[in-house]
Amino acid sequence: MSKLQEGAIAERIAHIGDQFAISGDFLYGEELRNGHINTTYRACYRTDDGHVDRYILQRINDYVFKDPAQVMKNVEKVTRHISWKVLRRRKNAAGQTLTLYPARGGRNYINLPEEGGMWRCYNNIEGTHTYDVVENTRQAYQAGYAFGSFQELVSDMNPEDIRESIPDFHNTPKRFEALQKSAAADIMHRVASCKKELELIRSWSPQFSKLVDMQRSGELPTRITHNDTKINNVMLDEETDGAVCVIDLDTVMPGLSLYDFGDMVRTATCMASEDETDLSKVHMQMPFFESLAEGYLDATHDFLTPNEVNMLAFSGWLITTEIGMRFLTDYLDGDKYFRCEYAEHNLVRARNQLALAESIQSNIPRMQKYILKLIKSYAD
């Protein structure tokens, strides 16, 4: 990047930051590019006493989130509730939450057409870091515990008070229908390059409605869920690797606890990244799953129902398959949803996720056996 480009980005970040209740003089800013959806900057300011504070400035992607104001209402409700609950308990390190800073006009967000849309400002949680890929079983445990703690902290909220930011986000049958339509239209003439993947997904389709059918019949309760439980959405303490805070709350919606656990299985039990092209490296590792399940159930076993527990292993396969379908659909549609670095990036991701789904599927009996062992230990 040229000095001119760096200067333009710094000027932009300073302008956006000036819209929020931030004290001090702007020093510098940088773009954070570890997410697929929103534009995110970190901005640094020096206060009058010489201290340096850092903030997160983020634009909500209005192509993905059609009603950004409603997204912010959800985020505000959830963060306030968690803050209230943590202050009441004065414990639970994994229960910290993000703080929203007021913007000009009195709201916690501001619309800046000249800067691409709606922006918000969060605290930068110091002394923490994230991982894009789980590196050891301790991190897997902490991921499970963090998202399990999040579910526990919002378990007493009414799901009807939170609106869907993306309707049918984890409705696997509808994701499959969308894929079928995109394949039939083939607007980018890409179907020929992914026939094998389409055939595999179609062979699995009879199982896609299992969770939504159970939710519809009342066999699974609707809860407030995070819906994007990747390891890089957990802030970990730099010294201990202990869970501190769950971030990226835009997809907090009414849903199933299984969606969150399933996405954790997808992202915390495989050491390969979503972009890995060598599929021999893409497989689930049982020690990681065992640590993940232990962390999650340590936080949730008191309120999960037997039906939720019984479907935990299956959910890992289902959500991994669903994400593979989403990558493949976006590939067929011309890469409109996920940020891509090259032409076949979404196809690579889709193949990667389908390979992982096959690995998870082969391990479901072992996964289920371990979950039941954990549940029995809590009862004893």
Which sequence spans correspond to the domains of the chain? Answer: 3-62+98-124, 129-379
Question: pLDDT value at position 5?
Answer: 56
Q: Which residues pair with 121 in a beta bridge?
A: 57
pLDDT tens-place string over residues 194-244: 999 999 999 999 999 999 999 999 999 999 999 999 888 998 888 888 888
Cα distances (angstroms) measured from residue 38 to each of 57, 65, 249, 279, 311 = 10, 10, 12, 28, 32
CB 143 within 8 A of CB 231: yes
Length of the chain: 380
Listed in sequence order, the residues at least 6 apart from 11 whose beta carbon sits closer than 8 Å to its beta carbon are none
What's the confidence (pLDDT) of residue 321? Answer: 98
Q: What CATH code is assigned to 129-379?
A: 3.90.1200.10
Predicted local confidence at residue 132, as pLDDT = 82
DSSP secondary structure, 50-91, as one string: S-EEEEEEEE--TTT-S-HHHHHHHHHHHHHHHHHHHHHHT-
Q: Given this model, what pLDDT does residue 251 score?
A: 92
pLDDT value of residue 4:
47
Q: Is residue 59 a contact partner of residue 47, using CB atoms and an 8 Å limit?
A: no
Q: Are 77 and 97 in contact (CB under 8 A)?
A: no
pLDDT at residue 209, as a whole number: 97
Q: Which residues of the chain have pLDDT under 70?
A: 1-6, 34-36, 89-96
CA neighbor of 299 nearest in space, from 148, 153, 154 = 148
User: At a CB cut-off of 8 Å and minimum separation 6, what does 120 contact?
Assistant: 57, 58, 60, 72, 75, 100, 103, 108, 109, 110
Give 258-304 pLDDT, tens digit per residue.
999 999 999 999 999 899 999 999 999 999 999 999 999 999 999 99
CA 177 to chain centre: 23
Which amino acid appears at position 366 of this protein? R
CA 126, distance to chain mean position in Å, is 21
